[in-house]
Structure formats: structure tokens, C-alpha cells
Structure 1
Amino acid sequence: MATDSRKVMVGSLLLLVSTALIMGTAPLVDALPVVVASFAALGLAAGALLVGTSEDARPV
């Protein structure tokens, strides 16, 4: 089974950055962090999708 290392790297980077954004904006109560956290949640979903589909086999 070949793994697409580019998908794994981009997915891992998205997961890392999105997690940092969510954890960094959690203590703030402004309206802007809510928007940033929303985009970070989308980044988490995209990163998980990229890592999950990086192999040739059927994704789980």
C-alpha cells in the first residue's frame, strides 16, 4: 500500500494549525475568535479527511 506523503503532510499541518487556533482562541470572548474557531474546525475536518484518504485502500 502506497501512502501519499503530500496528503499526510498537508493534513497534519492543517490539524496542527487548526488545533492551535482553537486552543489559542478558547479563553477569549470576542466575536472574532468565534469566527476563527469556526474556520479552525473546518481545517480540522479537512486535515482529518486528507490524512484518512492518503492511502490507496478504501478510506474508513
Structure 2
Amino acid sequence: MATDSRKVMVGSLLLLVSTALIMGTVQLGDALPALAASLATLGLAAGALLVGTSEDARPV
């Protein structure tokens, strides 16, 4: 079972950046703009998809 390390790295980076975007703006007290929230949500979904499909076996 080989793991595609590029997918894991990119997926982890997307998850980290998207989480930081969502959590960082919460600290500011203002509501997250709709565009930034939608991009962060898409980033979380794409990161989870990349990490989940990084192996040769069936995705989880």
C-alpha cells in the first residue's frame, strides 16, 4: 500500500490554511465575510478529500 505523499502534503496544507483562516477571523470579533468563509470551507473539503484518497486502497 503506497501512499502518495504529495496528496498528503497538499491536503494537510489546505486543511491547515483553511482552519487558520476560519479560527483567525473568529478572534477579530467580526463576522467572517461570505466569500472568505466559502473559500475556507472549500479548502477544508478539498484537503480532506486529498488526504482521504492518498492511498491505493478505497477511500474512507
Identical amino acids, percent of aligned pairs: 83
Aligned CA RMSD, in angstroms, stands at 1.2
* TM-score scaled by length of structure 1: 0.88
Structure 1 runs of 4+ with >6 Å offset: none
What amino acid sits opposite 1:29 in the alignment? A
- Alpha-carbon offset, residue 37 of structure 1: 1.4
**Residue 34 (structure 1) shift:** 2.5
- Structure 2: gaps of 5 or more residues: none
Letter in 1 for 2:54: S
Give runs of aligned pairs for residues 18-29 of structure 1, distance below 5 A. Answer: 18-26=18-26, 27-29=29-31
- In structure 1, the gaps of 5 or more residues are none
How many matched pairs?
58
| Aligned twin of 2:14 | 14
